[in-house]
Amino acid sequence: MPVHIPAGVTVTFEDGVVSVKGPKGSLTQKIDPSVKVSIENGAITLEENAEVLQDNPKQRHAYHGLYRALVNNMVVGVSEGYKKEMEIVGVGYRVSNQGNVITFELLHSHSIVMVLPPEIKVETKSERNKNPLITLESCDKQLLGQVCAKIRSFRKPEPYKGKGIKFVGEVLRRKSGKSAAAK
């Protein structure tokens, strides 16, 4: 499956490295030699390179799918970007940001301060009678997911009342607690 290059995005392949530049930023990815990359007619085509001798042909096949997905994520990231929204559920849980520095108050004995990489834009919103929201945007899907996982690890949602940091729209498996056992 070829990866289509949208207007305003330039893709280059030199010395085993794919570089993608677009309106939202630029990204690079090193490609394994067992995968051939060709850029023509506004599309990127990745194929298995049978010329490279490898002990495991399954590994070459797996690399083909991996690098195709990574290149596609790069093209989508620099053209449209990625956005994740997280909400903080719980009484007394608060979040605020100053530029790329986020401060969490999650009922620990201290506040948690996290400095985000410059590739990620953050916005926090706290309204009365609503859960605080964190909106993260980036062109790098992998980095964005890693930062979201780190933020979620500060206070994972618990299964009884659902308190903690979760993604907007995420469905949590809830447990009934002691009251169900008594019946």
Q: 101 and 64, same structural domain?
A: no
Whether 71 is covered by a domain: the verdict is: yes
Do 50 and 92 have their domain in common? no
The predicted-structure confidence for 1-19, as pLDDT tens digits, reads as follows: 889 999 999 999 999 899 9
Q: CATH number, domain at 150? A: 3.90.930.12
Same domain, 147 and 113: yes
Whether the pLDDT of residue 61 is over 90: the answer is: no
Residues 96, 33 share a domain: no
State which residues form the domain around 37.
3-79
Q: What is the pLDDT of residues 65-95, one digit of tens each?
A: 999 999 999 999 999 999 999 999 988 899 9
pTM of the model: 0.86
Q: Same domain, yes or no, for 74 and 94?
A: no
Structural domain tally of the chain?
2
- The β-bridge partners of 71 are none
Region 125-144: what's the mean pLDDT?
93
| Average confidence (pLDDT) over 49-58 | 72
How far are the Cα atoms of 14, 20, 78, 171 from residue 67, in angstroms, in the given order?
Answer: 15, 14, 17, 31
Instruction: Let me know if residue 47 belongs to a domain.
Output: yes
Percentage above 70 pLDDT, the chain:
96
- Quote the DSSP letter at residue 130: S
Q: Is 179 domain-assigned?
A: no
- Starting at the edge strand found earlier in the chain, the sheet holding 25-30 runs 10-14, 17-22, 25-30
Please tell me whether residues 68 and 90 are part of one structural domain: no
The band of 56, judged by pLDDT with boundaries at 50, 70 and 90, is confident
Instruction: Examine the domain organization and report whether 97 and 152 are in the same domain.
Output: yes
Question: Do 45 and 95 reside in the same domain of the chain?
Answer: no
Pair 43, 93 in one domain = no
- Which is it for the CA torsion 99, 101, 106, 110, positive or negative? negative
161 & 130 share domain: yes
The confidence score (pLDDT) of residue 87 equals: 94
**Which pLDDT score is estimated for 66?**
93
Nearest Cα neighbor of 141 from 59, 79, 61 is 79
Residue 172 in any domain: the answer is no
